[in-house]
Structure formats: structure tokens, C-alpha cells
């Protein structure tokens, strides 16, 4: 390894560190990622955001909805509707926190619980989570009846007489048996115990109430508050607050914040994603040793896109990885649609080479649909008349993305394909 001898190593290192410090962009990394902030810090950021009148309208509506509590009245249930990243959860948590403090001050007994269903789960798991939050049961994987869980929850709060606000985040994530879950919350629970139950639902689907059992629905008196996607002005405010806390403002070029807010508001209106773009741009700029420029933002956008796919497939089950790989490889080069039959053949042969149990076609077909939902591929049912009816598969990923997907999946298989094949 060749070493430069002109300058003493110590001096060199010192000089490098100095320039690095001068060009530091990220001053406080934690403020670029909510996961790393504790509740108090999150609320502090939120307060600043609310103080510049973002989400003003929603907070007003929330206040008027909950106002009856202070007249010893019983407000109906509430449903917050809006896309992901529009601040439903944080706003509500913040609001509940304030409400709690206010109730304490006025001696009104009030409890609130946040049931987070942000990852899809069946009724059983949802109830189990709730039971855990209430300290009514431990975490079960399986093996206890739904009824048992419900009774335990009831027992736990039977003697509580004040307001009980249950914040059910992302209700529509209760898969399959949403009806029985709601039936318990809306019908059985209020009848079984004396407390004043107040449920707040959250959903990103406007029509989440549409296909629930009408018998449950009739009990579900609900008030709705809509959370619109953030517009560019709001996003700019939100980003500015983050920048003040986390970044070296001198290293951000004119127009960058505007660009990020514009792109975000146009494509999703999601504040979390906007902050992610900012954070990624800062990382890239720091790596390249330049200020954050417009070009850097573009790079960040691309990189986020790619990482999204790679991360998703990395954490996916082996079968799904195999399916995607066989589709990508049987696609190689041409961009003409392929029928699902051809894909199944190549999947089958791939499975035998890596010694993976190959699924039957019906199951494979479901895997393919899943890949479509995630956006890796597009499928379309078409009929070739005499030559049958099938789904055509198209891969529309940028080549670099599909290349890195290919590499990642192969790596995943190399790691455990070797020892298996030896057995």
C-alpha cells in the first residue's frame, strides 16, 4: 500500500478532521428520525409545528369533539381519516396528552390507551395487544380463546368509572375478522362495564366502515375528522423546524427546502417521507463533501426508491424472493410481457437448483399477486383466445433497481443454499 510521506500523518489527519468539521451538515442526527426521539422530544417538535398553525383546523375540531367531557357529558366515538404521514397519530397522541393534563387539573378521571395496529394483524393479536396495554394478560402467541381474552380485558377495567379513551390506530389493519373485534369494542365492552368508553379510530381508507357487519355498525355512532395531505407550505414549515434542530443551515443551498416540499406535496403529502428525503440528502451531501444541492436531492430521491425495494425483498420470505428472482431473470433483456406459466417453470427449476421446496402453481400465483401489490411487477389478465387465458407479467423497475434486487436475492440464497445442498 503506497503511503505519502510529504506530510506527517498526524497533520494530515488533523487537517482532514478540520475540513470535515467545517463542512459538517448533520449537527444532530436524532432529529432526523422520530424513532430516535423520546416522547418528550417528539412532543416538543410537535408543539413547534402546531405553533406555526399547521393542523390548526384539525386541532380545533378535536377540541370541540372532546369538549363535552368537561360538561360531564359523553361524546360519541371518533374516526380520523387521512393518508399515511398526515399526522393523524402524532396529532392525536399530542392532543390526548394535553387532554389528560387538563382533566387532571379539573379533577376529571380520565385514562387513555394507544392501541397501535400499524402492522396488520388478526383480531386475536389485536385483542392480545390491548390486553397487554391494560396489563390484563401477558403476550400470547396462540392457544387462548378470544372469549377468554375479552373477559380478562373486561375484568381489568371493571372497576374504573371515569372516561376511558381507547385510541385504535389503523383499525382497518385488523385482518379477516374486523367484525368481531369491533363487536367487542362497540357492543360488548360498553355493556359489561360502567366506564365511559370513547373510541378513536384511525384509518387511511375513507370507506373503512363500509363493509362491517350492519348489526355492529348500527351501534357505531361516529364523528369523522379528515386529515388532508400536507401542502407544500405546511411541509416547508415542518422541514424548517427539523433543519433548525438537526442541520447546519449554511450547507443547504437556496431552494432545496422548497424543492423537497414541492416534490413531497405533489407525490404524497407525507411529512415523514419529506423528512426522510431531507435526511437522505444530508447523508449523501456529507459523504460527497458538498453542500446540499438540488442535484443531491435528486440523488436522494433515487436512492430512497431503490432502498425501499431492496429492504422490502430482504425481509420477505424465501418463497417470495425466489418468485421475484425467477421473474426478473426470465425477463432478462426483453421488456415484453411474460405469461405466468413461463415464470412458474423458471421458478420451479430455480427451486430445484437451490434446494428450496417448490410450491404448487396455485400458491405461486398468489405470490405473484403479492409482488404486484408491492409494486415490483405489474400483472394484467389477458386472453389469448384459443391459446388460453392468463396473467401477463411486466417488470417496470429501473434496470439498476432490478440489478440490485437480483444481487441481493442471490446473496440471500447463497448463504444457506450451500449447506443444504450438502446434506
Partner DNA sequence: TGTCCACAGGAAATACGGGGGT
Partner DNA sequence: ACCCCCGTATTTCCTGTGGACA
The angle subtended at Cα 168 by Cα 165 and Cα 172, nearest 5°, is 155
Using the rule CB under 7 A, give the single segment among 119-127, 187-195, 304-312, 403-411 that binds DNA.
119-127
- Regarding 119 and contact with DNA (CB under 7 A), the answer is no
- CA dist 78 and 99 (Å) reads 15
Residue of 50, 94, 95, 124 that binds DNA (CB under 7 A): 124
Residue with smaller CB distance to DNA, 332 or 383: 383
Q: Residue 15 Cβ, how far from DNA at the closest point, in Å?
A: 55
Site of grid cell 422520530 = 34
Which x/- pattern, by CB under 7 A, does the window 157-186 give for DNA?
Answer: ------------------xx----------
Give the cell for residue 8. 506527517
The one segment of 219-227, 228-236, 283-291, 381-389 that binds DNA by CB under 7 A: 381-389
19 vs 361 by CB, closer to DNA: 361
CB 355 within 8 A of CB 418: no
330 binding DNA? (CB under 7 A): no
- Per CB under 7 A, does 145 bind DNA? yes
Rounded to whole angstroms, the Cα distance separating 141 from 128 reads 9
On the CB side of 336, CA atoms within 13 Å amount to 4
363 CB-near residues (< 8 Å, 6+ apart)? none
Strands 77-82 and 222-227: parallel
Q: Does 65 bind DNA (CB under 7 A)?
A: no
Using the rule CB under 7 A, is 315 a contact of DNA?
Answer: no
Among 49, 110, 115, 123, binds DNA (CB under 7 A): 123
Q: Give alpha helix (H) positions in 315-398.
A: 318-331, 340-354, 361-374
- Output the smallest distance, CB 420 to DNA, in A: 16
- Separation of alpha carbons 308 and 304, rounded Å: 6
Q: Shortest CA distance to 200 belongs to which of 168, 163, 173?
A: 168
Among 389, 398, 400, 411, binds DNA (CB under 7 A): 389
Mark 334-373 with x for binding to DNA (rule: CB under 7 A) and - for no binding.
-----xxxx----------------xxxxx-xx-xx----
Alpha-carbon distance of 346 to 327, in angstroms, equals 8
Closest to DNA by CB, 165 vs 216, is 216
Beta strand extents in 90-221 (DSSP E only): 110-116, 121-122, 163-169, 174-175, 196-203
* Cα distance between residue 407 and residue 421, in whole Å: 20
Q: Which is nearer to DNA, 64 or 361 (CB)?
A: 361
- Which residue's CB is nearer to DNA, number 71 or number 142? 142
Which is nearer to DNA, 17 or 363 (by Cβ)? 363
User: Is residue 383 part of the contact set for DNA (CB under 7 A)?
Assistant: yes
Phi, psi of 135 (to 5 degrees): 65, 30
Residues 6+ apart with CB under 8 A from 25: 247, 248, 251, 252, 282, 285, 286, 291, 292
Applying CB under 7 A, the site for DNA has a residue count of 40
Using CB under 7 A as the binding rule, whether residue 390 contacts DNA is answered as yes
What residues line the site for DNA (CB under 7 A)? Answer: 121-125, 138, 140-146, 148, 175-176, 319, 339-342, 359-363, 365-366, 368-369, 381, 383-391
Amino acid at each position: 500500500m503506497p503511503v505519502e510521506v510529504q506530510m506527517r500523518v498526524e497533520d494530515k489527519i488533523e487537517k482532514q478532521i478540520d475540513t470535515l468539521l467545517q463542512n459538517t451538515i448533520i449537527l444532530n442526527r436524532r432529529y432526523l428520525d422520530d424513532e430516535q426521539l423520546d416522547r418528550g422530544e417528539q412532543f416538543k417538535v410537535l408543539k413547534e409545528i402546531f405553533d406555526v398553525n399547521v393542523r390548526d383546523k384539525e386541532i380545533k375540531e378535536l377540541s370541540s369533539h372532546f369538549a363535552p367531557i368537561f360538561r360531564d357529558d359523553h361524546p360519541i366515538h371518533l374516526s380520523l381519516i387521512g393518508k399515511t404521514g398526515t399526522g393523524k397519530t402524532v396529532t392525536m397522541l399530542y392532543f390526548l396528552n394535553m387532554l389528560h393534563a387538563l382533566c387532571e387539573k379539573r379533577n376529571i378521571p380520565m385514562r387513555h390507551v394507544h392501541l397501535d395496529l400499524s402492522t396488520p394483524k388478526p383480531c386475536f393479536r389485536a385483542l392480545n395487544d390491548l390486553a397487554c396495554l391494560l396489563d390484563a394478560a401477558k403476550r400470547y402467541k396462540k392457544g387462548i380463546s378470544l372469549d377468554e381474552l375479552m373477559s380478562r380485558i373486561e375484568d381489568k377495567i371493571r372497576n374504573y368509572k371515569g372516561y376511558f379513551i381507547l385510541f385504535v390506530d389503523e383499525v382497518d389493519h385488523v385482518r379477516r375478522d374486523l367484525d368481531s373485534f369491533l363487536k367487542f369494542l362497540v357492543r360488548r365492552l360498553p355493556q359489561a362495564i360502567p366506564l365511559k368508553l370513547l373510541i378513536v379510530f384511525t384509518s387511511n381508507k375513507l370507506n373503512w366502515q363500509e363493509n362491517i357487519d350492519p348489526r355492529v355498525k348500527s351501534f357505531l355512532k361516529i364523528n369523522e375528522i379528515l386529515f388532508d395531505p400536507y401542502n407544500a407550505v405546511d411541509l416547508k414549515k415542518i422541514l424548517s423546524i427539523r433543519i433548525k434542530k438537526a442541520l447546519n443551515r449554511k450547507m443547504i443551498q437556496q431552494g432545496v427546502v422548497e424543492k423537497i416540499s414541492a416534490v413531497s406535496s405533489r407525490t404524497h403529502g407525507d411529512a415523514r417521507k419529506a423528512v426522510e428525503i431531507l435526511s437522505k440528502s444530508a447523508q449523501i451531501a456529507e459523504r460527497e463533501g458538498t453542500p446540499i444541492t438540488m442535484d443531491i436531492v435528486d440523488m436522494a430521491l433515487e436512492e430512497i426508491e431503490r432502498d425501499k425495494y431492496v429492504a422490502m425483498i430482504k425481509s420477505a420470505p424465501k418463497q417470495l424472493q425466489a418468485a421475484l428472482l425467477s421473474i426478473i431473470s426470465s425477463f432478462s433483456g426483453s421488456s415484453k410481457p411474460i405469461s405466468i406459466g413461463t415464470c412458474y417453470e423458471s421458478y420451479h427449476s430455480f427451486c430445484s437448483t437451490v434446494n428450496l421446496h417448490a410450491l404448487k402453481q396455485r400458491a405461486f400465483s398468489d405470490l405473484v399477486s403479492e409482488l404486484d401489490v408491492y409494486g415490483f411487477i405489474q400483472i394484467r389478465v389477458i386472453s389469448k383466445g384459443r391459446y388460453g387465458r392468463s396473467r401477463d407479467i411486466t417488470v417496470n423497475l429501473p434496470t439498476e433497481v432490478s440489478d440490485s434486487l437480483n444481487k441481493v436475492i442471490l446473496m440471500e440464497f447463497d448463504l444457506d443454499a450451500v449447506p443444504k445442498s450438502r446434506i
